[in-house]
């Protein structure tokens, strides 16, 4: 039952009852107040119902927004998980890259060390190359000197061979070129009588001819070597030559003195040496072999 019906009922009861006019007026005023309150209440109810509808609409909108945010949150969480996975992968790759970088830094350090060592080796090799070039230049110079020496020796040899053709043919003189040295060998019979240190006239002529070639080649040192066979010195000569040492040395000295005095060769160019019978060129088992060992060798040596 609503308020309007209620109040109508009360009015009817009042009309049917015996009440005073004052009481009726009071009741009628109360009814008017009640109607006014009812109207206000209805208006308030209407406002509340409108507000309720607005709230329901706002709630529906908020629910839609919440659902949308929930979907977005799910997508965001999925994206975050993907990004976290990506970050983890990148972190792993970064670690691997850092490991590779450290390894490469170690390799780079080794390469730098190797490069430094290589540069040092190159410098050493450059120095060696410089030394080798210097040595090569010196070697070339020496080769040229030797070639010149050989050329000069060849020239001297040809001169001696031309001037001593007869003696060479008779095998009294032999000429050899060995290791840049020119060796002229005289058998003793062309230079000395047995047991003598006096040069024979024939030997003097041969030595003078030889000396002429030596004078024309002043850049050579002259070594005169005396050699004997193994026959002991005879008794009459032992007081003068106690052994073959003295005899071989005296004959070499005699040739040197002759080349100086008669051949006009400077003494500082010459050396006299005796070897006795300790450097034979043939076995001392026959007269022919022993005659080969009794010899004077004149060696022409380039100055160093």
Can you give the CATH number for the domain in which 222 is found?
3.30.1330.60
In a domain, 297, yes or no: yes
Please provide the average confidence, as pLDDT, over all residues in the chain. Answer: 85
Per-residue model confidence (pLDDT) at position 7: 59
In a domain, 179, yes or no: yes
Task: Phi first, then psi: give them for residue 192, nearest 5 degrees.
Answer: -135, 150
Per-residue model confidence (pLDDT) at position 18: 52
Collect all residues with Cβ–Cβ distance below 8 Å to 157 and sequence separation of at least 6.
Answer: 175, 177, 182
Q: Please report, rounded to a whole number, the percentage of residues in the chain having pLDDT higher than 90.
A: 37
In a domain, 188, yes or no: yes
pLDDT single digits (tens) 131-189 = 878 877 776 765 555 555 556 778 888 988 998 999 999 989 999 998 889 999 999 88
In a domain, 199, yes or no: yes
Collect all residues with Cβ–Cβ distance below 8 Å to 243 and sequence separation of at least 6.
Answer: 232, 233, 276
- Give the CA distances from residue 156 to residues 67, 261, 268, 300, in Å, rounded to whole numbers and listed in that order: 125, 21, 20, 10
Per-residue pLDDT for 120 more than 80? yes
Collect all residues with Cβ–Cβ distance below 8 Å to 187 and sequence separation of at least 6.
Answer: 171, 172, 173, 291, 292, 294, 295
pTM metric for this prediction: 0.54
Token code pair at residue 21: 């006019």
Per-residue model confidence (pLDDT) at position 271: 97
Give residue 247's domain range.
164-302
- Number of domains within the chain: 1
In a domain, 181, yes or no: yes
Q: What is the dihedral of CA 211, 216, 219, 222, to 10 degrees?
A: -10
Per-residue model confidence (pLDDT) at position 225: 98
């Amino acid at each position: 039952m609503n308020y309007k019906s209620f109040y109508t009922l009360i009015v009817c009861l009042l009309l049917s009852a015996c009440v005073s006019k004052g009481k009726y007026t009071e009741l009628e005023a109360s009814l008017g107040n009640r109607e006014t309150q009812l109207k206000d209440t209805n208006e308030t109810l209407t406002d509340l119902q409108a507000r309720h509808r607005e709230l329901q609409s706002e709630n529906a909108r908020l629910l839609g927004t919440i659902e949308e945010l929930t979907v977005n949150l799910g997508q965001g969480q999925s994206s975050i998980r993907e990004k976290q996975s990506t970050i983890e992968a990148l972190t792993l790759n970064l670690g691997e890259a850092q490991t590779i970088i450290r390894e490469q830094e170690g390799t780079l350090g080794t390469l730098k060390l190797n490069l430094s060592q290589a540069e040092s080796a190159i410098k050493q090799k450059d120095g060696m190359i410089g030394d080798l070039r210097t040595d090569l230049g010196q070697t070339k110079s020496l080769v040229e000197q030797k070639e010149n020496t050989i050329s000069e020796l060849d020239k001297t040899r040809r001169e001696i061979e031309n001037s001593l053709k007869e003696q060479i043919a008779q095998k009294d003189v032999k000429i050899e070129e060995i290791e840049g040295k020119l060796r002229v060998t005289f058998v003793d019979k062309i230079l000395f009588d047995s047991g003598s240190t006096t040069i024979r006239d024939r030997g003097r002529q041969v030595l003078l001819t030889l000396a002429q070639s030596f004078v024309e080649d002043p850049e050579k040192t002259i070594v005169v070597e005396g050699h004997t066979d193994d026959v002991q010195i005879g008794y009459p000569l032992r007081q003068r030559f106690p052994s073959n040492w003295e005899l071989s040395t005296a004959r070499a000295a005699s040739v040197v003195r002759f080349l100086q005095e008669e051949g006009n060769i400077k003494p500082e160019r010459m050396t006299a040496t005796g070897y006795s019978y300790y450097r034979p060129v043939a076995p001392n088992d026959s007269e022919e072999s022993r005659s080969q060992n009794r010899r004077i060798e004149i060696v022409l040596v380039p100055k160093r």
